[in-house]
Amino acid sequence: MQMTEENLRGLFGRMTGDEKHGWAAASTLHAIWVLYERVLNVSPSNIDDPGRDRFYLSKGHGPMAYYAVLAAKGFIEPETLDTWRQWGSPLGMHPDRNLAPGVEISSGSLGHGLPLGVGTALGLRAQGRDARVVVLMGDGEFDEGSNHETMAIAGRLGLGSLTAVVIDNKTASLGWPGGIAGRFEQEGWAATTVDGRDHDALEKALTGETDGRPRAVIAEILPIEEGSTA
Amino acid sequence: MTAQVTRKQMRTVFAETVIESLATDPRVVMLTADISSWFFWEVKKDFPDRVHNFGIREQAMIDIAGGFALAGQRPVVHTYAPFLVERPFEQIKIGLGHQDVGAVLVSVGASYDDPSWGRTHQAPGDVALLDTLPGWTVHVPGHEDEVAPLLSKAIAGDNRVYVRLSERANSEAVPVSEKFTVLRRGKAGVVLAVGPVLDQVLAATATADVTVLYASTIRPFDHAGLREAVAAAAPNVVLVEPYLRGTSAFEVTEALGDVPHRLRSFGTWRDREARVYGTPEEHDRLFGVDAESLADSIARFVG
């Protein structure tokens, strides 16, 4: 089935029961969709292949967009979305890799995805594989000290197979003067800031050539104006 | 005392064992946070992608270990005990346990290997903390010769293992076993010695009519071994552990759920910090786990 964004909106609505407001609030959806649709080599047919690309959803709260994309891509039956958060469902408010098909890490508490991603990228490097590891996090999550430890490690090790996607909807309590991209650059990453709803811009930032440095894509999601069609 | 001069530190045996495993098992990766990293400088030349020193970044290190395990590697992770277990405790819970992946965590420093460093370098709560998480095997070797067999087996497996190394060691090794080892048999009670407290327990019970059990593996707890020993003696159980007093008391209670028994636990204080420096032996006396104090306490308890 060729999944369109219209279908995706329907899948999303199966969980939220609200295709308009929930959809607009899904700050992660665009980046996850672009990753699974245009960037990553991962699908239900190669999910057990150790050489597959990895997507780690570090920002595990509000995973409806993630589940919708996984359903759209055939990892999860669409009917399963109707059960989310219920007893016996594989889909919770935070994803569990041991329950949900296609989910690569169990997440929910902040600050674990990036170091898990670095470990996996280093493991794949030790195995001589060139698979990519993409970690999606939020700007509030970026506050966590573990991320800053990890940013330094990945920069120093020149971990070119690693990408951090930071959804920046300006929710970090004390903010990041000068922006998040500058922090990554200071630690030796190649950082790009794009409009987090612009699929082509996201794709370009996620696939452009790098010089071996780990890559950070800051996907800015600004509040939607009244009457917007987004 | 020439024998002591030639004895190796547990930490040295650990490094030798890991270096050997790096050459023979391509799954193995060694992660450090500066502590002991010098042991691995040479072998990193042979295995640059499998030996990493991340600097003093313990939270990242534990999650990175989880990431390695997700990729199919076998991470061995090492630093000083408080920084390995206490500081990154949520990383242990989420990055390893909740992902349901394994790693071998190897600490040094124990509860008070060098109390002159003060509270910051003491981790008497490490085993009790891991008890709050499912699925951990815990080894507490009491002699350097016990380290290699315990560690080699841990590295060859897939599960979550904590190896608690100490700079203190018993005068002789006990062959490693997953079960408790019976070192002495008696009638008045059963004394369980965990790891590097065995010398003082043996000295304390030299003339007592008690069974002495030894454990270098304390999780899983050998329920059957304890029941067997208690069945052959008065049900007076003494627990001597080199960390928080009573850490294994709940396991004793589980093991003897249907056996009327008495239990007395020894270890470090739970209710206050020992805010003093000095030597490990002075702290043994403070906590009542030196041979003389134990002899007195055990005699009064089983007598």
Cα angle at B128 between B235 and A119, to 5 degrees? 140
- Confidence category of residue A177, pLDDT binned at 50, 70, 90: confident
User: Tokens standing for B229?
Assistant: 């020993």
Burial tier of B206 (Cβ tally within 10 Å: 0-12, 13-18, 19+): exposed
Q: What is the mean pLDDT of residues A55-63?
A: 91
CA gap B166, B153 in Å, rounded:
19
Residues of A with CB under 8 A from a CB of B: 50, 54, 96-98, 104-106, 109, 111-112, 114-127, 145-146, 149-150, 152-153, 157
Contact check, Cβ <8 Å, B63/A122: no
Contact check, Cβ <8 Å, A145/B98: no
Contact check, Cβ <8 Å, A117/B67: yes
CB-CB contact of B83 with B54 (8 Å): no
Provide φ and ψ at A228, rounded to 5°: -65, 150
Within 8 A of A154 by CB-CB distance, chain B residues are: none
Contact check, Cβ <8 Å, A116/B64: yes
Q: Which residue has the tokens 């490490």?
A: B126
Q: What is the mean pLDDT of residues B293-303?
A: 97
pLDDT, mean over chain B: 97
Return the exposure string of A80-114: e unless at least 16 CB atoms fall within 10 Å of the residue's CB, then b. bbeebeeeeebbbeebbbeebbbbbbbbbbbbbbb
**Nearest CB to B94; choose among A112, A119, A153:** A112
DSSP states of A118-150: HHHHHHHHHTT----EEEEEETTGGGSHHHHHH
Say what the alpha-carbon torsion angle B66, A37, A179, A22 is, to the nearest 10 degrees: -100
- Confidence category of residue A25, pLDDT binned at 50, 70, 90: low
Cis peptide before B220 (omega within 30 of 0): yes
Q: What is the mean pLDDT of residues B237-256?
A: 98
Q: What is the mean pLDDT of residues B86-109?
A: 98
Within 8 A of B54 by CB-CB distance, chain A residues are: 149, 153
pLDDT at residue A20, as a whole number = 58
pLDDT at residue A22, as a whole number = 64
Within 8 A of B95 by CB-CB distance, chain A residues are: 112, 115-116
Q: What is the mean pLDDT of residues B269-287?
A: 97
Q: What is the ipTM of this complex?
A: 0.94
Q: What tens digit of pLDDT does each residue of B23-45 get?
A: 999 999 999 999 999 999 999 99
Provide φ and ψ at B262, rounded to 5°: -115, 145
- Confidence category of residue A223, pLDDT binned at 50, 70, 90: confident
pLDDT over threshold 50, residue A89? yes
Q: How near does any CA of chain A get to the CA of B48, in Å? A: 9
pLDDT at residue A230, as a whole number = 44
pLDDT, mean over chain A: 91
pLDDT over threshold 50, residue A1? no
pLDDT over threshold 50, residue B15? yes
How far is residue B105 CA from its own chain's centroid?
Answer: 11
Contact check, Cβ <8 Å, A119/B94: no
Within 8 A of B71 by CB-CB distance, chain A residues are: 50, 119-120, 122-124, 127
CA gap B39, B124 in Å, rounded:
25
CA gap A29, A116 in Å, rounded:
22
Q: List B80's β-bridge partners, or say none.
A: B108
CB-CB contact of A22 with A65 (8 Å): no
Provide φ and ψ at A216, rounded to 5°: -120, 130
pLDDT over threshold 60, residue B3? no
Within 8 A of A121 by CB-CB distance, chain B residues are: 67
Residues of chain B with CATH 3.40.50.920: 181-302
**C-alpha distances out from residue B120 to B81, B82, B109, B114, B277, Å:** 10, 7, 11, 11, 12
Contact check, Cβ <8 Å, A126/B49: yes
Q: What is the mean pLDDT of residues A199-214?
A: 94
Residue of A nearest to B50 (CA): A126
- The lowest-confidence range among A51-65, B11-25, B135-149, B213-227 is A51-65
Q: What tens digit of pLDDT does each residue of B176-204 get?
A: 999 999 999 999 999 999 999 999 999 99
CB-CB contact of B29 with B50 (8 Å): yes
Q: How near does any CA of chain B get to the CA of A99, in Å? A: 11
Within 8 A of B57 by CB-CB distance, chain A residues are: 149-150, 152-153
Give the CATH class of A5-220: alpha beta
- Confidence category of residue A26, pLDDT binned at 50, 70, 90: confident
pLDDT over threshold 70, residue B278? yes
- Confidence category of residue B208, pLDDT binned at 50, 70, 90: very high
CB-CB contact of B277 with B118 (8 Å): yes
Contact check, Cβ <8 Å, B49/A149: no
Q: What is the mean pLDDT of residues B254-258?
A: 98
CA gap B62, B290 in Å, rounded:
35
- Confidence category of residue A75, pLDDT binned at 50, 70, 90: very high
Q: Check: CATH 3.40.50.10210 for B181-302?
A: no
**Nearest CB to B68; choose among A97, A123, A150:** A123
SS3 B190: strand
Instruction: Count other C-beta atoms under 10 Å from residue B16's C-beta.
Output: 15
pLDDT over threshold 50, residue B171? yes
Fold for B10-164, please state it: Rossmann fold (3.40.50)
- The lowest-confidence range among A24-33, A127-136, B50-59 is A24-33
pLDDT over threshold 90, residue A186? yes
**What percent of chain B lies above the pLDDT cut of 70?**
98
Question: Which of A57, A112, A125 to probe the B interface (max B CBs under 10 A)?
Answer: A112
Q: What is the mean pLDDT of residues B1-22?
A: 87
Within 8 A of B98 by CB-CB distance, chain A residues are: 96, 106
Q: How many residues does chain A have?
A: 230
Q: What is the mean pLDDT of residues A19-34?
A: 77
Within 8 A of B68 by CB-CB distance, chain A residues are: 119-120, 122-123
Secondary structure in 3-state letters for B109-175 = CCCCCCHHHCHHHCCCCHHHHHCCCCCEEEECCCCHHHHHHHHHHHHHCCCEEEEECCCCCCCCCCC
- Confidence category of residue A224, pLDDT binned at 50, 70, 90: low
